[in-house]
Chain A
Amino acid sequence: MKKERRDFIKQAGFVGAAVVTGGAAVVTSGILAPTTANASSGHEVTDSDQPRLGMVIDMTKCKEECNDCSDICHSVHNVPDHGNPKDEIKWIWKNEYERVFTDKSHQYVSQDLKQKPFLTMCNHCDDPPCVKVCPTNATFKRNDGIVQMDFHRCIGCRFCMAGCPYGSRSFNWIEPRPAIKEIDSSFPTRERGVVEKCNFCAELIDKGEKPACVTTCKEGALIFGDLNDPNSEIRKVLETTKTIQRKPGLGTKPSVFYVV
């Protein structure tokens, strides 16, 4: 059968239109379906076989004048101190209540809270935006929930810094080595042009130890453990104490909790 060119184009047009409308219907139903299913908060506890490491920071125990946790962290991880806030490299640091809990602060927050320096670090989110935006997979989530950086792969694009809603990431604008007080050769330093952040002491976790800040804290203000294990110490603390997260509304599911 010989087909006229004109007929062929007409038929092709009909088929094309059918595919597009059909496809659109599938896409719309696909978008609508999860919206209705997610009507709940998304904060259900899902116990999994895989661990999810997390931390509770008990600010009622944390002493204002004590800097043991950040001192030990910055010395074992060769974190430089450039002495000015613009070039600052932060793994664990202190900040004001209204800057840490931007969505919970209000005009009449007690003086006590206003003046208290709050400990902050990477939240090791369960749904980390920094991992989603990293174009080289330099930032990734380990099986145990630690949001880890592979410095070998970091190209210094700083998408992760833009993606992180907690300001937990710092960029090495200048060569870090001269600004490190005493270099610990067992852990690498960084080079100019890479981003860095808290790694929950992944190198110690792999040896079966707890993070350096947790073991150093004399007040027991830092409780570390597996959030997916209902019998773990951290889950018991979470069960018995009122705790809050930083910016829970963003859906990043932080693994760091605060007792305020």
Chain B
Amino acid sequence: MIYNKAVVIPVLIIFVALITFPFWKGGLPHKPAPKIAVQTDVKCVESAEWMRANHMKLLDEWRHSVVREQNREYTSTATGKVFNKSLVNTCLDCHSNKSEFCDSCHTYASVKLNCFGCHVNPEMLKE
């Protein structure tokens, strides 16, 4: 038994219609994914696809092994080249455009980093 059927049911229908609006209107509007500014001729420590998916894990592993295990060298599984495990001295050496390279994606994905609270972004020093 539903009370006030005449009012409740039309209001419910309007409510459901409104909250499902984006779906029946033709899907959520897509904001175009950001383009990462890549410096082409530079070889990264790992392949671009792998880095895109795992860079956060790699950086976390690096900071732990450098600070706590005194292990500062990383051998690339892709090329076998040895790199210094360092965000500023290795990563930012090539990707010196932090605002275009890091921030464009992180802002899009609403990921807030605190790396650069301490680690120095060389871009910042130029200003």
Contacts and interface: CB of A to CB of B under 8 A. Distances in A.
A binds B: yes
Interface of A: 78, 140, 142-144, 148, 150-152, 183-191, 202, 206
B88 interface: yes
Contacts of A191: 114, 117-118
Contact of A150 (B68, B120, B125): B68
B88 A152 contact: no
Given A152-B63, A183-B125, A189 B68 contact: no
Contact of B68 (A140, A183, A186): A140
Given A148-B67, A186-B88, A206 B72 contact: yes
A185 B70 contact: no
Given A183-B125, A206-B72, A188 B67 contact: no
Contacts of A140: 68
B83 to A, nearest CB: 15
Interface residues of B, number: 15
B118 A151 contact: yes
A24 B54 CA distance: 54
Name the residue in B70, B119, B121, B122 with the highest tally of chain A Cβ atoms < 10 Å from its Cβ: B70
Nearest to B118: A188
A140 to B, nearest CB: 7
A184 B118 CA distance: 12
B89 interface: yes
Contacts of A206: 70, 72
A183 B121 CA distance: 10
A195 to B, nearest CB: 13
A198 to B, nearest CB: 16
B67 A150 contact: yes
A150 B67 CA distance: 6
Nearest to A144: B70
B67 A186 contact: no
Contacts of A190: 118
Interface in B93-127: 114, 117-122, 125
A40 B117 CA distance: 49
